Amino acid sequence: MIQKLIQPKYKGMVSVEEAIFLRRSVRNFKDVKINEEKLSQILWSAYGVTERINNFRSIPSAGATYPLEIYFINYEGLYYYYPKDHSIEIIKKGDLRKQLSNLCLNQNFVSKASLCIIICAVYERTTIYYGQRGLRYVYFEVGHCAQNVCLQTVALGLNSVCIGAFDDKEIKKLLSYPENLEPLYIIAIGEKL
């Protein structure tokens, strides 16, 4: 079932400069739930639509090819984010955070994070236009997405840490990814302990 999210806000109380200054990698989280308003804001900052006519997103994308797919895990399960509708769909029910933690090479703080954003890519969406150089453009896009998420979490009074160490093959199995979808980055988010 697809669930429409609360409309994101386009003006906050924290300046970009302040968010940049306060951003830190935090690995000690309180085991508490993030409300829907904050979830909505984080997902929109990651890859949400900022201009409806062309479906431009919150981050730059080479040739507007938009190769990224955003999934997340929280207490309730694994979800997929639909940027165009700003909605989510549950893919698997149940708390998968401990499993994800194990697949992140036993980084135990992942199991306490309130939310884990999983940024994936379909390389072909970009490489079909740019050849092998398109891989570089996909990596740029992942970085833009992650930075937006990290700064947005600060603006919401939360903390985050980016994770690159994980078992790609097992993550794909856990999350039932299609074969051409590659997990590239995970961001654990929550309130600092």
Q: Which two tokens stand for residue 134?
A: 């398109």
pTM score, two decimals? 0.96
Q: Which two tokens stand for residue 143?
A: 């970085």
Return the CATH number at 146.
3.40.109.10
Instruction: Please check whether residue 66 is in contact with residue 124, taking contact to mean a CB–CB distance below 8 angstroms.
Output: no
pLDDT in tens, 3-15: 999 999 999 999 9
Dihedral pair phi/psi, residue 50, rounded to 5°: -115, -10
Instruction: Please check whether residue 149 is in contact with residue 142, taking contact to mean a CB–CB distance below 8 angstroms.
Output: no
Q: How many helices (H) and strands (E) does the chain have?
A: 6, 9
DSSP for 27-74, please give it: --B---PPPHHHHHHHHHHHH-EEETTTTEESS--GGG---EEEEEE-
pLDDT band with cut points at 50, 70 and 90 for residue 37: very high
Q: Which two tokens stand for residue 39?
A: 């979830």
Task: Over range 71-100, report the average pLDDT.
Answer: 97
CA dist 190 and 193 (Å) reads 9
pLDDT in tens, 112-163: 999 999 999 999 999 999 999 999 999 999 999 999 999 999 999 999 999 9
CA dist 140 and 155 (Å) reads 23
- Name every residue whose Cβ is closer than 8 Å to that of residue 12 and which is 6 or more positions away in sequence: 155
**Residue 123, domain extent:** 2-190
pLDDT value of residue 177:
73
Q: What order do you get walking across the sheet with 68-73 strand by strand?
A: 2-4, 87-93, 77-82, 68-73, 115-121, 182-190, 159-163
| Counted domains in the chain | 1
- Name every residue whose Cβ is closer than 8 Å to that of residue 17 and which is 6 or more positions away in sequence: none
pLDDT in tens, 165-188: 999 999 999 888 777 899 999 999
What is the C-alpha radius of gyration for the chain, rounded to an integer number of angstroms? 16
pLDDT value of residue 175:
81
pLDDT value of residue 156:
98
What mean pLDDT is reported for the chain?
96
| Dihedral in degrees, nearest 10, Cα atoms 47, 50, 56, 61 | -40
